[in-house]
Amino acid sequence: MDISELRKQIDDLDRRLVELLSQRAQAAHEIGRLKRGAGMPIYEPDREQTVFENVRRANRGPLRDHELFSIYQRIMDIMRQIQQEEIGGKIG
């Protein structure tokens, strides 16, 4: 493969990632709605740890676990913000 073909592949993958992240954000929004109704906190460290562990187990490289963990930390931060917008008020 040449550079232009690899870049096209990356562009296609980016579009798929955006679609999947949007689906994840929609699910986070719905969870925020349910948490609001149940009076639950946004931040649930045990659940986040489970997510990180699931990601670690699914990782086959070439990203190292700590690199993938950094990406998921940011994703989780944004998903908490989405839930915060749904619930309103303070995180925690």
> Would residue 92 count as lying in a domain?
no
Report residue 55 as tokens.
Answer: 């990601």
- Name the residue range of residue 66's domain: 3-87
Note the pTM of the prediction, 2 decimals. 0.85
Return the number of other C-beta atoms located less than 10 Å from residue 50's C-beta: 11
Instruction: Give 42-66 pLDDT, tens digit per residue.
Output: 999 999 999 999 999 999 999 999 9
Domain total for the chain? Answer: 1
> Would residue 23 count as lying in a domain?
yes
Q: For residue 86, give every residue at least 6 positions away whose Cβ sits within 8 Å of its Cβ, in sequence order, or none.
A: 29, 32, 33, 35, 36
* CATH number of residue 11's parent domain: 1.20.59.10
Average pLDDT of the chain is 93
Q: For residue 24, give every residue at least 6 positions away whose Cβ sits within 8 Å of its Cβ, in sequence order, or none.
A: 75, 79
Whose structure tokens read 């619930």? 87
pLDDT at 89: 56
Pick the more confident residue, 82 or 89.
82
> Would residue 58 count as lying in a domain?
yes
